[in-house]
Amino acid sequence: MTDLCGIELEHPIVNASGTWDAIAALRAFGDDVIERFPFAAFVSKTITLQPRQGNPPPRLWETAAGLINSIGLPNKGLAGYLEHDLPVLARLPVPLIVNVMGFTRDEVATLVEAVAERDEVAGLELNVSCPNVESGLIMGADPRETAALVERVRPLTAKPLIVKLTPNATDPPAVAEAAQAAGADAVSLVNTLRGMALHPRTGEPWLGAGTGGVSGPAIRAIALAQVAQVAERVSVPVVGMGGVETGAHARALLRAGATAVAVGTESFRDPRAGARVAEELGQLLRKERVSAAT
Amino acid sequence: MNRTLAPFERRTGTVEAVEGLGAYRRLRCTDPGGPAPRPGQFYMVALAERWGAGDDERPYLPRAFSYLRWADGTLEFLLEDVGPGTHRLAEARPGEPIHLLGPLGAGFAPVREDRRPLLVGGGIGIVPLLPLRAEMEGGVLLGFRDAEHAVAADLFDDPTVCTDDGSTGHHGLVTELLDDRLDEPVEVYACGPPAMLEAVRLMTGERGVPAQLALESGMACGFGACFGCVVPTRDGYVRVCVDGPVLEAAGLEAVPAH
């Protein structure tokens, strides 16, 4: 068992927000998704106060050993999520962590309050990779912005609050420290790194939104370094992620100080990658215990 | 029902043969434990080894392919070597392990009462029409760039063929042949390049003829996880992989050029 700031996990592998849609998976694969759920917790895709259509296509670009996406957080909005999605997600056999994002602190507060009061929800993850429309600053790129946000929402719930850090910041460990000081129960990292691709013929930006976020093996080494730096600076648990494809990759993030590990883009290649990574990690850890005992 | 559920597992088959068919390559592989798909459904396909290290260190993600044939645990795909993914698949050797996920998405719906199906394909887009043709009687109009590509028309019984350069069949676009048939009580089943499908959408819309379009879109996962493959509809963006790939033309705002 893994204890992630009070959320009990069967194993240390969860999904990265926005990389697995359990409701769509039920449509594609049926109830086997519930019977053989690949993750120890389900982290939902980001929800916002108002419904969002997301960015204009094209939204994807395959890059060297990875992917650039500019999806733009399409979602049904808070009311739609609570009415339509939450009852389905409640069928999953694992704890549910809901990822939320707002464009002002008050918006985030409304989201946190409404989501946290639902019994189906085990914890919340704050997506701070967007600009605060009041200050113009990326909330998660600046320690003071992050602290102000966490201070605003911390009193609203006793449930675990996880702050999802952006790697597009000058000093992610300082942001992590600020989040912890303001009352965050855990931090998760890394979100995607900003990237861009040009249309091979026209030379114009390929992605509908101009730029996007890079994920996959291309960012694994960067993620490992950031997780190690952050874990050194904070005492709260760290959820590490970035390019994890195997149990050995997850083991590396645990060695760097992570308590749990999220699988993201690899799930696009294999919908049960989370279960495979958990199995491989379990074998590695058992082997280590055996060799330590002999 | 136009959707067979996929086993919740990326399975590994074996490449049995990769053969040329005009400008295309036909890849046959085993599909261990895979259920019978419905026409219009697709699979996410990647070779298990050396998937990567091509141009630009790609491919990385699996590629979506409509199936050409499925029978008793054997799948056939048709592909054209146009990028790092299709290039690697085109060079696959018999015996190589191949990852399969599927069948995915929603396939073609049955024909409406009082209408006859009319199948319209362009280029590699003829693929999903072959298993559909096995299930319904109706005309088949196929368009290709040139005679080398039009060799693939031989997969069909008695199709009407046209080519852009006139090197075989009618000289012209398949949508010109379609235009002559839209006064008949038909329902159009179409798959092909975006410009062709956009033309089919507009023509059938103007003439009040129902049309089901099998769309293609770059997708990372094929099962609704990445939200990358959306197309604009009257109800907003929908995902080609789980809401399609077959969508009613009347519901679409446009067929995106990408």
Span A157-162, average pLDDT:
98
Interatomic CA distance for residues B24 and B124, integer angstroms: 8
Task: Tell me which chain A residues have a C-beta less than 8 angstroms from the C-beta of B99.
Answer: 270
- Residue A276: pLDDT over 90: yes
pLDDT of the residue at A92: 98
pLDDT of the residue at B116: 97
Length of chain A: 294
Mind listing the pLDDT tens digit for each residue in B198-243? Answer: 999 999 999 999 999 999 999 999 999 999 999 999 999 999 999 9
Span B15-20, average pLDDT:
98
Q: Give the three-class secondary structure for A88.
A: helix
Mind listing the pLDDT tens digit for each residue in A75-101? Answer: 999 999 999 999 999 999 999 999 999
- Residue A137: pLDDT over 80: no
The CA–CA distances, whole Å, from A210 to A69, A72, A131, A234, B230 equal: 10, 11, 17, 35, 17
Task: Tell me which chain B residues have a C-beta less than 8 angstroms from the C-beta of A217.
Answer: 60
Give me Rg for the CA atoms of chain A. 18
Of the candidates A7, A258, A239, the one whose C-alpha atom is nearest the C-alpha of residue A123 is A7
Query: Quick check: A253 and A247 in contact, CB under 8 A?
Result: no
pLDDT of the residue at B1: 65
- Residue A133: pLDDT over 80: no
Query: DSSP H helical segments within chain A, as ranges?
Result: 22-29, 32-35, 77-80, 86-89, 105-116, 143-153, 172-181, 220-233, 247-255, 266-269, 273-293
Contact B223 A29 (CB under 8 A): yes
pLDDT category, B56, cuts 50, 70, 90? Answer: confident
Whether the CA torsion A248, A250, A253, A258 is positive or negative: it is negative
Q: How many CB pairs under 8 A join A and B?
A: 124
Amino acid letter, A201: R
pLDDT of the residue at A135: 74
Span B104-108, average pLDDT:
98
pTM of the model: 0.96
Query: Quick check: A223 and A263 in contact, CB under 8 A?
Result: no
A199 CB within 8 Å of a chain B CB: no
Span A150-176, average pLDDT:
97
Distance between start and end Cα atoms, chain B:
29
Task: Tell me which chain B residues have a C-beta less than 8 angstroms from the C-beta of A271.
Answer: 8-10, 101, 221, 223, 225
Q: Give the three-class secondary structure for A271.
A: coil
Span A126-140, average pLDDT:
80
What is the chain A residue with the closest CA to B46? A269
Counting residues of chain B whose pLDDT is more than 90, the rounded percentage is: 95
B7 CB within 8 Å of a chain A CB: yes
Average predicted confidence (pLDDT) for chain B:
96
ipTM of the complex: 0.95
Which range (A58-67, A123-132, B74-83, B152-161) has the least confidence?
A: A123-132
pLDDT of the residue at B253: 97
Contact A53 B237 (CB under 8 A): yes
